[in-house]
Structure 1
Amino acid sequence: MLVEINGNRLSIEVYGDRPGAPTIIAHHGAPGLGSLAEPRASFGRLADAYRVVVFDARGSGASEGNEPFTHEQWVADVEGIRQWLGVEPVIMAGGSYGGFIAMEYAIAHPGRVGALVLRDTSADNANQDLAVRNAATSSRVAIDPGKLDRIMSGTVRDDDDLRDCWTEILPLYDHDYDPAKVAERAAATPYRHRTHNFAFAVNQPGYDVKDRLPRISAPTLVTVGRHDWITPVACSEVIAELIPDARLVVFEKSGHSPQVEEAELFEATVREFLEKIYRAA
């Protein structure tokens, strides 16, 4: 469904009808490339015990793209969704770039977050240099430096160029490389280059929430794939060290997407984490 949130129509899907069930709001990654399909696949499995809300962020997927595409606006849109749902607190979840927004939402609205679930993300922009080095030294494929630079710096020329650059780096993401899956994923991606460019050229250079992470009081689960090239394990270790009593889980047979590559284990890990919190409550 399309719901107007803060003057912008967002594509939102809600799963689970168990009365009184805690609500999960899950934020996808890759602004301008990601969509609700990713969190729907990974968190939709929990709809038997939770109400699961997934959406295309402003400027991504099937949602409208009214500027600005700032972190502040995306956080405000999450809060608008929470108000539209009429619930608090919520379980806030986010993977990759969506983890940036999940952490910033938990910092901005501490009383409205009952638990925080993060996946393959970073507390600052240090992952950018790490990712470029990992891509350049990959033994899997030879990455075109120009395409890597355009997508990482937010200087792609148009949607077709974004598609070309995205297809170039996709082989780096999974633990086990399957060219057919890469082609399928590239074909299924919704391309919105203006959103992507703003996120990586404007937002990313100044992104750093490390000094604010100790303010997060919600129980936090930090998950990451051992072989993640773009937000390596070290990034998640920093988050887990800075958020009080955060739990870090590393998935040994995954790249950037343990929710896909080790789906059953990822689901079981999230369920166990949340059940302890809500059983106690």
Structure 2
Amino acid sequence: MLVEINGNNLEVEVLGPQDGPVMIVHHGAPGLGSRAEPKASFGPFADTYRVVTFDARGSGASEGKPPFTHEQWAADVEGLREWIGAEQVVMAGGSYGGFISMEYAVRYPERVRALVLRDTSPDNKNEDLSRANALASDRVELDLDKFYRIMDGKTLSDQDLKECWAEILPLYDHDYDPAKVAERVEATPYRFETHNWAFTENMPRYDLTDQLPQITCPTLVTVGRHDWITPVSCSETIADLIPGAELVVFENSGHSPQVEEAELFQKVVREFLARAVEGAPSA
């Protein structure tokens, strides 16, 4: 359903019992991501939680009124919290959605009951690490023009973004399956203006390292051992900076342990939430 949040229509899907603790899940990859991934990954938690998934401003089927800043995206999360009527929420997000989840926890600390992060980074240092990992990979022979256009936020159109995405997508999974990659390329909604804004305007200034020690809610940090774009060292930094944060590394995953080790990922998150959220059942 379309819900107007801060003057912009967002495509929102709510799963789970009306009286369950509310969990808002933010997808990654602005201009490429959508609610499909968080719905698949966190939909199983709708047996206990009221899970709010949505296409962020400028992504998926949502309206795309700029700005596409971290401040605006965090404010949209706050608007969704107000719309759903929860005093506090479990905030979850992976990859770029982890950036926004941490931004939300920093900007609205009294609203976050617990924080679940997956394959993300506290600052923009992952960009240099990811470029080195991509160029060192022997999995695919990269078209460097396309590689740098998508990494630098200089894609030319939705079609160009699609072609550039197809270039780097083989790097994401621990086990490379060309058929699955091709399927994901076709299933992705492309919004090149949003993607370009994120990587030309937001990423050069992105750095939460000084603010993460202010986060006091229970925090789970998860990451795939073989993640090329937000490597384990990025999650280790987050876990070191947030007081009491728990770090779990998934040994047989790349950037998506919620897919590649789905059963174990769900077990880890459920056990964390059982400890962190009052009234949640033990796994």
Q: What TM-score results when the alignment is normalised by the length of structure 1?
A: 0.98
One-letter code aligned to 2:4: E
Q: Deviations over 1:71-108 (max 9, x none)?
A: 00000000000000110210000100000000000001
* 8 Å contact kept, 2:42–2:51: yes
Give the CA deviation at 1:121. 0.2
Q: Which amino acid aligns with 2:102?
A: M
Tell me which amino acid in the other structure corresponds to 1:31: P
Q: Deviations over 1:232-270 (max 9, x none)?
A: 000000000000000000000000000000000000100
Q: In the alignment, which residue of structure 1 is the partner of 2:144?
A: 145
- What is the aligned residue count? 280
Counterpart CA distance in 2 for 1:35 and 1:240 is 26
In the other structure, the counterpart of 1:51 is 50
Task: Tell me what 2:239 maps to.
Answer: 240
Cα offsets for 1:174-214 (capped at 9, x unmatched): 00000000000000000000000000011001100000000
Q: How does 1:87-126 map to 2 (within 5 A)?
A: 87-126=86-125
Alignment partners' CA distance in 2, 1:279 and 1:79: 22
Alignment gaps of 5+ in structure 2: none
Q: For residue 144 of structure 2, what is the amino acid of its counterpart?
A: P
Give the SS at the match of 1:170: helix
Q: Give, in angstroms, the shift of residue 280 of structure 1.
A: 6.4
Secondary structure at the counterpart of residue 9 of structure 1: strand
Structure 1, unpaired ranges of 5+? none
Quote the RMSD (CA, aligned, Å).
0.9
Q: Report if aligned partners of 2:26, 2:94 keep a CA contact under 8 Å in 1.
A: yes
By how many angstroms is 1:162 displaced?
Answer: 0.3
Letter in 1 for 2:71: E
Moved over 2 A (4+): 278-281
TM-aligned CA deviation for residue 20 of structure 1: 2.8
Once the 2 structures are TM-superposed, how far is the Cα of residue 277 of structure 1 from its aligned partner?
1.8
The CA deviation string for residues 19-48 of structure 1, in whole angstroms up to 9 with x for no partner, is: 531110000000000000000000001000
Tell me, in whole angstroms, the C-alpha distance in 2 between the residues paired with 1:101 and 1:119. Answer: 12
| Comparing 62-71 and 271-280, the one that deviates more | 271-280
Aligned partner of 1:109: which letter?
A: Y
Correspondence for 2:3: 3
Alpha-carbon distance in structure 1 between the residues aligned to 2:70 and 2:138: 34
**Map of 2:15 onto structure 1:** 15
Kept after mapping to 1: 8 A contact 2:114/2:277: no
Paired with 1:279 and 1:106, the residues of 2 have a C-alpha distance of 19
Question: Normalized against structure 2, the TM-score is what?
Answer: 0.98
CA contact (8 A) 2:113 2:277 kept: no
- Tell me the SS of whatever aligns to 2:3: strand
For 1:12, the aligned partner's letter is V
Quote how far apart the aligned CAs of 1:219 are: 0.2
Find the aligned partners of 2:64 and 2:244 in 1 and give their Cα distance. Answer: 37
Contact 2:105–2:112, Cα closer than 8 Å, also in 1: yes
